[in-house]
């Protein structure tokens, strides 16, 4: 073999080697061959957390909850953890309405309302699902 033939053989070997390396890399990063840590999880399977702020009189409570969880179930967990107290009544078709929370208590002259980001809520707390960043405040009206 002369020098020119050796150079051609070397170039062919390098091209074949580069092609094989390319195939190996492409196969390793194809979607069906990536491990579960690298796979994209469908949005329907991702558990999102929601951060919200609860204000009762001068008490401020920052809460982390699971997306889709009602305000009632969030508050129930906080009550069970002795973070604050609340009570109320369930109205069929309307949901749970809070009558007492923290130091605020409904009376015959004043009732307890909650506001979401400064706007009066339109549903009971069992029907409301907080969104990330919500500020929820209770006031006597």
Q: Which residues contact 51 (CB under 8 A, 6 or more apart)?
A: 62, 63, 64, 132, 133
Half-sphere exposure of 45 (CA within 13 A, CB side): 4
Which of 10-19, 30-39, 123-132 holds the top average pLDDT?
Answer: 123-132
Report the alpha-carbon distance of residue 141 to residue 112 in Å, rounded.
6
- Residue pair 90/126 in contact (Cβ under 8 Å)? The answer is yes
Of residues 127 and 10, which shows the higher confidence score?
Answer: 127
Q: Over the stretch 59-98, which tens digit does the pLDDT of each residue have?
A: 888 888 889 999 999 999 988 988 778 999 888 877 788 9
Q: Where are the domains of the chain?
A: 3-40, 45-140
Rg (CA), the chain: 30
CATH architecture under which domain 45-140 falls: Beta Complex (2.170)
Q: What is the pTM of this model?
A: 0.63
């Amino acid at each position: 073999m002369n020098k020119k033939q050796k150079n051609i053989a070397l170039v062919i070997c390098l091209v074949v080697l580069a092609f094989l390396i390319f195939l190996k890399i492409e196969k390793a990063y194809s979607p069906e061959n990536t491990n579960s840590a690298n796979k994209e999880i469908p949005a329907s399977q991702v558990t999102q957390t929601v951060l919200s702020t609860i204000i009762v009189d001068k008490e401020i409570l920052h809460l982390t909850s699971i997306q889709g969880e009602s305000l009632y179930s969030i508050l129930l967990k906080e009550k069970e953890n002795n973070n604050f107290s609340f009570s109320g009544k369930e109205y069929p078709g309307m949901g749970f309405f809070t009558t007492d929370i923290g130091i605020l208590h409904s009376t015959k002259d004043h009732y307890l309302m909650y506001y979401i980001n400064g706007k009066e809520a339109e549903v009971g707390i069992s029907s409301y699902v907080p969104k990330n960043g919500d500020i929820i405040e209770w006031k006597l009206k």
